[in-house]
Structure 1
Amino acid sequence: MLTIKGRSVRTVDGYAVDLRTFFRFMKMHRNLIPKDTEFAKIPIYDLNADFFRTIQLSDVYEFLNYSMKDRDNNSKTRARKVSSLRGFFKYLTVNTQILQENPVKNLELPTVRKTLPVHLNMDQSVALLNQAYQATKSATRWRDFCILTLFLNCGMRLSELVGINIQDLDLKAAELKLLGKGNKERLVYLNDACKQALEQYIQQERANLKVIIDKQALFLSSRSGKRIGARQVQLIVSKFLKESGLGGMGFSTHKLRHTAATLMYQQGDVDVLVLKELLGHVNVGTTEIYTHVSNEKVQQAVENNPLAHFKAKGNEK
């Protein structure tokens, strides 16, 4: 998956977790281990082709039922598990012919309920940026303000932000190269807010770091001089959300991506196909979750109907 299909490390790790969970469940389900064995410690190194040949579709349904009831997995998580299993058994039958029959060929994906993405409104976004800007009175906090500015203006993913290198940035051309899912590169154009935040971070903070270990990385840990990690960015975002009075409202780092996309679509009149390219989506169907419209726009659309002020003759009153 990494080499041939070009999937991200995070995606591959997720599939590996799904497969390990399924195999451990199978050994537990078939009573092949002592009953007091901790689930996470169930060994699966001894499984082989003979074991895989015994798996039936009913086993997978038992596993999905277990995932829902015992592990509280939602439909989206269970859908990923189904994708993992279908990919694995397709590999065993089509690619390697280890199995003659694919036991999950008729396995359907669970229906995933579509929900509106959680996002900050305009006032909340401004409050968050103001809170981070106030912290820049300390010269060592420009990085945090810059990170929030990029999230809210460019709609980039967390993995894309932490992966930015210095050579990916061209401030004169106002361009930033991102490495997205599936190792696909795309260009993001920087507005004035992003350019100013990047310039301040590079000049006021990054240039003054005493130790720089990862010289290529744009965003660095001020303590270690190494590339900032995803978890550290999440803690930064959580900190400023809390300080700006937005903590405990379901907002997170990924919700800032939702926010950027929603604000651009609702208030920036950005076309959905343009938004698709900006966000790095493969299919426009993925982008459409960001194109939900506000109640105000629905009301405005009804008011703008040319028949809105129609009055039947004889009913002028």
Structure 2
Amino acid sequence: MAKYSPPQEKAPLLPPRMAEFRSYLQTIKGKSPATVAAYTYDLTLFLRYMQVHLGKVPSSIPFEEIPIDQIDDAFLQEITLNHLYAYLSYVEEMRENSAPARARKVASLKTFFKFLHGKARILPMDPTGDLESPRIRKRNPIYLSLDESVRLLQSMDRTHPDFRRDYCMLTLFLNCGLRISELISIRRPMLREDTMRIIGKGNKERTVYLNAACLAAIEDHLTHMDLEEVPEAYKEYLFLSSHKRPISKRTVERLVKKHIQHAGISAEQYTPHKLRHTAATLMYKHGNVDIRSLQAILGHENLSTTQIYTHVDNERLRESVSANPLNDIDRWAPLSPKDTESLDKEPSKK
């Protein structure tokens, strides 16, 4: 799933308890700025809805302009489980939120009210205790085949001045399964022989091992990097834009689409995150990587997230069943005396 980015709007003034919650997420839980921003957006939307739902503001005020900074403990103590379900109905029907979007909002609400109940201690009970999350239908990941992946890399224009940079980015996507946010954050001090230190989702650090293809692509890219006119603050970044600044997510997305199209592959459904899916799928299908190892490689917190890759290789499952030695037994063939004798023998006990 692509990483969630909250819509850009003027930051509202926050109620005191929400400001405390943000500080708690940052300093105690170590959440990344992007995660804190997502929580802030979700809770701002919820509190604006509650202002209207409880009749605290005139209905004539545009929704995005409803103030929330005056919300106090008494207001928060009024909120019940029924209010929460009414809010989820609102975002589904009026804002057309999908099940994954509503599930994220449920997670935000649960974390916030758990904080109010257990840390701030302003609520006698947590109204989200019995709040259920929408059921999300798991989909098999979209990925490039092995042949398409090879074609993507081999079809790149080697005469283009940014060829080495772009080839290195695609190689890391396809071999290491990096998230786009992880790729654009790589700095040279994070590289150590055949490993790379990555700061992943939620500011969690993990070690990524680099194979020969990655090492060769990185070395070729670094050897030809032009650091002239690059500001000192940006010289450590592995991937720079034509403006001598760290490359942006949008630029990477555009480049991935361009190279996929150049390879003769329909680029409509492929994004940098789909290249991450491709790396994981190829490792699982062709590299004999077990699911726990794949979880560590991808930096997934929950094994259930990684398990989507166990459903992509039905042919391998079919071959595994066919490989069962009992598959060769003809049920109509008579047993020979030797076979009967061996079946009658009890297995030896060791």
TM-score, normalising length from structure 1?
0.90
Give 1:297's match in structure 2, choosing from 316, 320, 329.
Answer: 316
Residue deviations 1:263-295 (CA, integer Å, cap 9, x gap): 001011112222122112233332222222423
Residue deviations 1:215-236 (CA, integer Å, cap 9, x gap): 222211121x221122221222
Q: Is 1:21–2:40 an aligned residue pair?
A: no
Partner-residue secondary structure (3-state), 1:177: strand
**Which of structures 1 and 2 has the bigger CA Rg?**
2
Residue deviations 1:137-190 (CA, integer Å, cap 9, x gap): 1233321111111000001111111111111113xx222111112322222121
Give 1:78's match in structure 2, choosing from 90, 98, 102.
Answer: 102
* AA partner of residue 181 (structure 1): K
CA shift in 2, pair 1:293/1:306, >3 Å:
farther
Q: Is 1:269–2:269 an aligned residue pair?
A: no
* AA partner of residue 306 (structure 1): P
Q: Is 1:221–2:241 an aligned residue pair?
A: yes
**After the TM superposition, which segments of 4 or more aligned residues of structure 1 sit over 4 Å from their partners?**
none
Which residues of 2 match residues 170-209 of structure 1 at below 5 A? 170=192, 173-204=193-224, 206-207=225-226, 209=228
Q: Which residue of 2 aligns with 1:110?
A: 134
Indicate the percent of aligned positions where both proteins have the same amino acid.
42
Which shifted more, 177-186 or 52-61?
Answer: 177-186
Q: Which residue of 1 aligns with 2:337?
A: none
Separation in 2, partners of 1:168, 1:247: 34
How far has the Cα of 1:38 moved from its partner?
Answer: 3.1
Partner-residue secondary structure (3-state), 1:188: strand
Partner-residue secondary structure (3-state), 2:127: coil
Give 1:230's match in structure 2, choosing from 231, 239, 249.
Answer: 249
Q: Is 1:251–2:275 an aligned residue pair?
A: no
Which shifted more, 62-71 or 34-43?
Answer: 34-43
Give 1:150's match in structure 2, choosing from 131, 149, 172.
Answer: 172
Separation in 1, partners of 2:34, 2:266: 27
Q: Which residue of 1 aligns with 2:68?
A: 44
How far has the Cα of 1:312 moved from its partner?
Answer: 3.0
* AA partner of residue 143 (structure 1): R
Check the 8 A contact 1:209/1:222 in 2, yes or no.
no
* Structure 1 unaligned residues grouped into runs of 5+: none
Root mean square deviation, CA, Å? 2.1
How far has the Cα of 1:249 moved from its partner?
Answer: 4.1
* AA partner of residue 29 (structure 1): H
* Structure 2 unaligned residues grouped into runs of 5+: 1-24, 335-350
Q: Which residue of 1 aligns with 2:18?
A: none
How far has the Cα of 1:12 moved from its partner?
Answer: 1.7
Separation in 2, partners of 1:218, 1:2: 27
Give 1:67's match in structure 2, choosing from 79, 87, 91.
Answer: 91
Which shifted more, 141-150 or 247-256?
Answer: 247-256
Separation in 2, partners of 1:20, 1:264: 41
Q: Which residue of 2 aligns with 1:89?
A: 113
Check the 8 A contact 1:5/1:182 in 2, yes or no.
no
